[in-house]
Structure 1
Amino acid sequence: MADSPRTVEIWRPHVTVACVVAEGDRYLMVEEAVNGRLVYNQPAGHLDDGESLAAAALRETLEETGWTVELQHLIGVHQWRSTEHGDAVMRFSFAARAVSHDPGRPLDTGISRALWMSRAEIAALGERLRSPLVLLSIDAWLGGQRLPLDALGYLPEGGAA
């Protein structure tokens, strides 16, 4: 008699993207309500099914800030266990250049506003930062960490290798 098939639980981290958008010594940030508290983050969010990482970063930045940006580099890939929900997060952080702003565009649910802040102002937020990945990605960018965007491949469904 054959063994009955077992369901194997496969670990899956939350895949997220974020953009470090610098203009002079200021960085584009969002103020958002999360679990009843006001926190600060870069424009960031989850990768949608069927979406490339680059497309997700552009979409999330536009939806959360009203800014259209141009990706310049991949800053890094960071793993972290969220203190918010306890799950593992794998975050792809991009450097981007601000291209244009639509101040009339409605922002995503939960986003109070987009604002520009210096690194010192961001660091002073302390526990009000959504995660330690905010400063980690800014500091990596300030430290010169730049990876080419073509380091990330994307094959749409059915695409050839």
Structure 2
Amino acid sequence: MSDSQFKPHVTLACVVQAENKFLMVEELINGSPTLNQPAGHLEADETLFEGAQRELWEETGIQAAPQSLLQIYQWIARDGTPFIRFTFAIDLPEMLATHPHDSDIECCHWLSAEEILNAANLRSPLVRESLLRYQQPERYPLSIIESYNWTKKRLS
């Protein structure tokens, strides 16, 4: 048994749909425009739901809460970095204007599933996989995730 602990990065992503379009963020990675769902790392003082809402607001300016859990992915990036990605679904009644607050986000786009699935500039294979998973009928209730005794006081 190894002495080192396995410490994957915990990330949160939102597949946001309105009017049959999906909300994507564009960021520059090594100078190239790259598409991703609104997503980012979980911070120490927040629940998974709070983190997903924060990332959505920071990257798009939209305030919305996850409505269901789509999938939990365990993934190792090309550089060997391990990730656990919680992917949530949010269905909005209409496409909303976006106002990114995160300086890493160049802009936001409402795109069709076909445009995303055929894009050559996705941040990771999980972007495509998450959209394909969204297109399946199964959804998991948020009650499957419990933040047991998870308060900011606990961390101070």
TM-score by length of 1: 0.85
> Shift of residue 106 of structure 1?
4.6
- Per-residue CA deviation, residues 38-59 of structure 1 (Å, 9 max, x unaligned), is 2000000000002101111111
Q: CA deviation at 1:107?
A: 2.5
Larger Rg: 1
Number of positions where the alignment pairs a residue of Structure 1 with one of Structure 2: 150
What is the distance in 2 between the residues matched to 1:13 and 1:72? 25
Q: 1:81 aligns with which of 73, 76, 80?
A: 76
Q: Which amino acid aligns with 2:86?
A: F
Cross-structure match for 2:29 = 34
CA contact (8 A) 1:19 1:93 kept: yes
**What value does the CA root-mean-square deviation take over the aligned residues?**
2.1
Determine the structure 1 residue equivalent to 2:38. Answer: 43
Give 1:112's aligned residue. 106
Listed as ranges, the gaps of 5+ residues in structure 2 are none
Q: Which protein is richer in strand relative to its size?
A: 1
Equivalent residue for 2:129, pick from 121, 126, 136: 136
Question: What is the identity percentage for the equivalent residue pairs of Structure 1 and Structure 2?
Answer: 38
Task: Flag structure 1 segments of 5+ consecutive residues without an equivalent.
Answer: 1-7
CA shift for structure 1 position 101: 5.0
TM-score between the two structures when normalised by the length of structure 2: 0.87
